[in-house]
Structure formats: structure tokens, C-alpha cells
Amino acid sequence: MPGWIVAGVIFFLFFVVLSLYYFERRDNRELWKSLKEIKGTDKYKLKKRAEALELYVTQFLNKKNPDTVFAATFEKVGKDSIENSLHAMINRAEMEIILVSPWIKGRIWERIRGGVLKFVKNGGELKVFIKGDKGDFSSGRSDYSVVRAIRRYGGVVKFVPRLHAKVYVVDRREALICSANLSRSGMDYSFEAGVWTCNPEIVKEVGEFVDRFG
């Protein structure tokens, strides 16, 4: 078979494969876009919150499981470590993740990034609140590269100059309130403590507090 025919067949097959790949990617993007739009509707959020309340009643009220648990930077101090609690929350997230931390560092972001990005790609909404002072970035307290990365993946980052609270909220149904920043000092080196809770009244108040940041 002449070489030009072989080359033509190879080129044709390559074109077909490339076309299939393109259309599959386009279809996937459309599906993810539709999913994100559905998850953003009030009706969907209301349904999920109703499910969360039902779960709370069955698992924590009827079964008498604790709805608030102490957490610390070292597992031996509390029932769970702060970072493990945060990872578990991120993995359970369906609609919204809120991270409130005056400082955020790349090393800690790398440790939670996988779960967060998977959540965002599945149509979830990510909100991050940090102090955002220029001095924080120039001194290395926070890494602006993390801000760029979060925004690049569709998350929202807002600067709150007077911020000192450290709060992590998932789907308005559970919250981690603690003293730990998203930094090596907060997660690895310092003695930090806090509580994880799924108590609806407390989580509602936490959500209202966070909403004040805009």
C-alpha cells in the first residue's frame, strides 16, 4: 500500500479521535454547567437542608449521639484533630464550603485542595474569607498564590481586614469553630482547639455571622 494512503488513513483516524474527544469534552462541560445551575437553585438547597434536618433528628436526637464534639490539633487531646475534622467535612460537602481564616498558606491548601477542587468541579460553591492585608502577603503570613488558585478554579475569595475568627462551614449544616488558621502554625505546630457541631441552631447562627462578611 502506498505510503501516502497509509498517511492519509492515519490522519483520518487521528481526526476522528480528536473530534470525538472534543465533542465529549464539550458535552461534559455542558453537563457540569447544568449540574452547577441546579445546585445553585433555592429549591435544591431547601431540599438538601430538609434532608440534613431529618438526618440530624434520626442520628443525633433519636440515637442520642453528640451533635457537638471537641477537636484539637492533636488527636490524643480531643476525639479528632482539627484537620481531620475539616477533611471529613469537605468530603461530605454537596452545596457550599465556607473557609474563614485570617491567614491561608500554600502548604495547608495543598493538603485540602484535592477534596475542595473535586467539590467545585461537581458544581459546589466555594467561599473563602481572609484578612488580605498586603503586609500579610509580603511577610509570608498568607500566600497570594492560594488566592489566585482558588479564583482560577471558580471559588470566591473576599478580604476582611478586621478578621480574626476561624470558622469552617459546610452546607449550612455543620461547622468547625476553632482557633486554627489554615497555616502550618495553626494545623501543625501550635496548640489549637475548637468544636465541631451539627446543631442546627448553632450552625444557623454561624452562617448568619459569616454572611455579614458579604
**Mean pLDDT score of the chain:** 83
| Span 27-83, pLDDT tens digits | 555 655 555 565 566 676 666 666 655 555 555 556 667 788 888 887 555 456 899
CA distance 121 to 117: 6
- Report the pLDDT value the prediction gives residue 78, as an integer from 0 to 100: 47
Q: Where are the domains of the chain?
A: 1-39, 41-211
pLDDT tens digits along 97-116: 999 999 999 999 999 999 99
Report percent pLDDT > 70 for the chain. 68
> 128 Cβ partners below 8 Å, 6+ apart?
98, 99, 100, 101, 104, 147, 150, 155, 156, 157, 158
**pLDDT, average across residues 153-177:** 96
* Integer Cα distance of 97 and 100 in angstroms: 10
| 41-211 CATH fold | Endonuclease; Chain A (3.30.870)
| pLDDT over 70 (residue 18) | no
**Pairing relation of β-strands 80-81 and 68-72?**
parallel
Give this prediction's pTM.
0.74
Identify which of 182, 99, 187, 104 has the alpha carbon closest to the alpha carbon of residue 148.
104
Mean of pLDDT values over 201-212 = 95
Q: What is the DSSP string of the chain?
A: --HHHHHHHHHHHHHHHHHHHHHHHHHHHHHHHHHHHHHTSHHHHHHHHHHHHHHHIIIIISS---SEEEEESSTTTSSEEHHHHHHHHHHH-SSEEEEE-S-B-HHHHHHHHHHHHHHHHTT-EEEEEE---HHHHHHTSS-HHHHHHHHHTT-EEEE-TT---EEEEETTTEEEEES--BSHIIIIIS--EEEEE--HHHHHHHHHHHHTT-
Q: What is the pLDDT of residue 73?
A: 83
